Structure 1
Amino acid sequence: MPGVQNVKASEGFIRTYDLLKVLSNDVYTAFEVLERDKQNQYLRRSVVRAIFSYVEALIESIKVEIRSSLRVERPDFELSKKERELLGSLSPISQDKGRQLPLEQNLKLTFKLAAKVWELDFRLNSDGEDYRSFVIAKSYRNKLTHPKTHYDVEVTNDDMHYYAVASEWVQNEFRRLFTARVEGLETYIRKYIG
């Protein structure tokens, strides 16, 4: 059985930093191992699984931070019904993690909600070629995880390109979002605290 936090032993409820670190290392390691045997289909599929586990964790980590902000900062606006469904319960110990949405929609809505809650001038870069590569990689990943034919589990060189670009794009957008968040906090501190 996977490990769970032991609250009585003072273990934290949320360990998003550790989660992202582990999954980021998985992506790095998967690519590193694949580099030694580039045609190995198992290793290629392992890269795909590592990338999309990391992407899912990034989205959930943003939601954790949004929930925390809403609990602590108590903004003067109400979340829409869709936004509440996206986030799930604001309680740190609740098991309600929100409505399950398709990955692409979940990603866009989460980034948009983060910008709203944190009052950022931020927009997810979803107009460029890198985002299109992400969408293609996601569709290939869906075939891989729900195979109907042998060809659905075969990962080509072109597929690997899309996966690599998708991974880099998501990491860059995550970095941009949290850079904007930190800059927003610095501005707030200078303005209100001195």
Structure 2
Amino acid sequence: MPGHPRVDAGDGLVRQHELLEQLNEDISSAYIALERDRSSQYLRRCVVRAIFSFIEAIIESIKWELRSSIRAGHFTGQLSAKEQETLGSLHLIGKRNDSFLPLDQNIKRTFSLAAKIWQLEGFRLNTDKDEFRDFQAAKSARNRLTHPKTVYDIEVTDEDMHSHTTAAIWVKTELERLMRARIAALKSEIN
């Protein structure tokens, strides 16, 4: 059974930073375990699952911050229907009205929304290099793994491992770049 926040004990409702820290630790732990037995398909699959949990959490964490910015009145512009669909419901309580987006679309739209809502002039997700193509290859391999039809779909090859590792590094790098741009924009607002 999933845990619930203990607000009466000082827990926050979301704790996104802890979510990302723990999932990043999962990736490190999965790689450490894999180092002891590099041929283990089970451990390779553990790495893949850890990486994609982290990537999905990054996207949702950014969306949480974007929704918070809007609710706090820091963005007064208009969002298109597509942008609203990407962002999901602004409500804190109740049923979320989030629709499913393929992962590559979700990450592109979310980073684009971040640039718009946080007014990050010139920020654009880096999708024109090999790292993004590795991300797409990793996503395809992950999709086969999570929706297997044959035994070969759950095999994680050395090439897949390269793509997954590169995908994790790419997403972390892009998140850091986004956050640096956000901090720079906030500093210029203060000045």
Common topology (TM > 0.5): yes
Matched, 1:150 2:151: yes
d(CA) in 1 for partners of 2:180 and 2:135?
Answer: 22
Instruction: Work out whether 1:6 is the aligned partner of 2:28.
Output: no
- TM-score using structure 1 length: 0.94
**Match of 1:174?**
175
Corresponding residue SS for 1:73: coil
Deviation at 1:10, TM superposition (A): 4.1
Q: CA deviation at 1:99?
A: 1.4
Regions of 4+ moved over 6 Å: none
Distance 2:170 2:21 in 1: 17
- TM-superposition CA deviations, 1:80-134 (whole Å, max 9, x none): 1111121222123344162111111000000000000000021000000000000
Deviation at 1:78, TM superposition (A): 1.4
- The correspondence of residues 1-194 of structure 1 with structure 2, limited to 5 A, is 1-96=1-96, 98-120=98-120, 121-190=122-191
How far apart, CA to CA, are the structure 2 residues paired with 1:170 and 1:50? 13
**Amino acid in structure 2 at the alignment position of 1:151:** Y
Runs of 5+ unmatched residues, structure 1:
none
RMSD: 1.2
Matched letter for residue 45 of structure 1 = R
Alpha-carbon distance between aligned partners in 1 of 2:5 and 2:157, rounded to the nearest angstrom: 40
- Verify the 8 A CA contact 1:13 1:93 in the aligned structure 2: no
CA distance in 1, matches of 2:12, 2:137: 37
Unaligned runs of 5+ in 2: none
Deviations 1:47-89 (Å, cap 9, x if unpaired)?
Answer: 0000000000000000000001111134231111111121222
Q: In the TM superposition, what is the alpha-carbon distance from 1:136 to its structure 2 partner?
A: 0.4
For 2:10 and 2:89, the matched residues in 1 are separated by: 22
How far apart are 1:5 and its partner, in Å? 1.4
Q: Report Cα offsets for 1:25-47 as digits up to 9, x if no partner.
A: 00011011101110000000000
C-alpha displacement of 1:139: 0.2
- Indicate the larger mover: 69-78 or 171-180: 69-78
Amino acid at match of 2:113: L
**Number of equivalent positions:** 190
